[in-house]
């Protein structure tokens, strides 16, 4: 039987008692891959890929990232997304460096998209108002997200229409907590 990443509740049920010796090596291996597994992400360095803003919340155009080592989640560098493989609570950490060719404010967000297609906020965002055009902006975001199998995370942006945003550096790390 394959080792399976399980939820905390499922593991607690498997390990409820051992009165009849029914905690198996498989149960323990499932616990192991559940608590050591599920991490990944991607990063971008020295990119010049620009995104012409549309004036509303939209997916952010990025250069093709490089995947970090990953376990039990899917890093899709072509589509710049991280897809969850197991229900759970996930730590999300993001560092980003951007430029905007104006002094208009810009907001970056990490949003989740369910496998069915709807996207929603997960409380992970950062905002910046430049003091001059083409200023290098430093963004930091962090949060804990409740995600299910098939959900995927991507970088979204909102800013003034026709401004050009360039994400020069980006690091997105996702780690399963429970």
Q: Which residues bind another protein (CB under 8 A)?
A: 3, 24-26, 28-29, 31-33, 35-37, 39-41, 43-46, 66, 68-71, 93-95, 97, 130-132, 134-138, 140, 142, 168-171, 173, 175
Question: Shortest gap between Cβ of 56 and another protein (angstroms)?
Answer: 25
Question: Shortest gap between Cβ of 25 and another protein (angstroms)?
Answer: 5
Question: Shortest gap between Cβ of 53 and another protein (angstroms)?
Answer: 19
Helix (H, G, I), strand (E, B) or coil at 29: helix
114 vs 177, beta carbon nearer another protein? 177
Residues in contact with 171: Cβ distance below 8 Å, sequence separation at least 6, in sequence order? 41, 42, 43, 44, 93, 94, 95, 96
70 vs 125, beta carbon nearer another protein? 70
Altogether, the residues listed in the chain come to a count of: 178
Residues in contact with 31: Cβ distance below 8 Å, sequence separation at least 6, in sequence order? 6, 11, 14, 15
Residues in contact with 1: Cβ distance below 8 Å, sequence separation at least 6, in sequence order? 26
126 vs 158, beta carbon nearer another protein? 126
60 vs 137, beta carbon nearer another protein? 137
Could you tell me how far CA 11 lies from the centroid of its own chain?
Answer: 25
């Amino acid at each position: 039987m394959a080792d399976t990443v399980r939820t905390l509740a499922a593991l607690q049920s498997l390990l409820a008692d051992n009165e009849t010796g029914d905690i198996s090596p498989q149960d323990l291996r499932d616990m192991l891959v559940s608590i050591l597994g599920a991490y990944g992400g991607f990063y971008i360095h020295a990119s010049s890929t620009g995104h012409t803003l549309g004036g509303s919340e939209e997916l952010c155009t990025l250069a093709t990232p490089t995947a970090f080592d990953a376990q039990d989640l899917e890093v899709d560098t072509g589509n710049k997304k991280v897809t969850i493989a197991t229900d759970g609570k996930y730590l999300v950490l993001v560092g980003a460096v951007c430029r905007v060719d104006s002094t208009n404010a810009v907001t970056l967000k990490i949003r989740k998209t369910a496998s069915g297609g709807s996207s929603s906020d997960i409380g992970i965002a950062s905002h910046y108002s430049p003091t001059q055009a083409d200023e290098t902006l430093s963004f930091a975001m962090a949060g804990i997200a409740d995600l299910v199998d098939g959900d995927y995370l991507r970088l979204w942006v909102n800013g003034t229409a026709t401004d050009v945003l360039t994400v020069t550096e980006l690091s997105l790390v996702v780690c399963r907590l429970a």
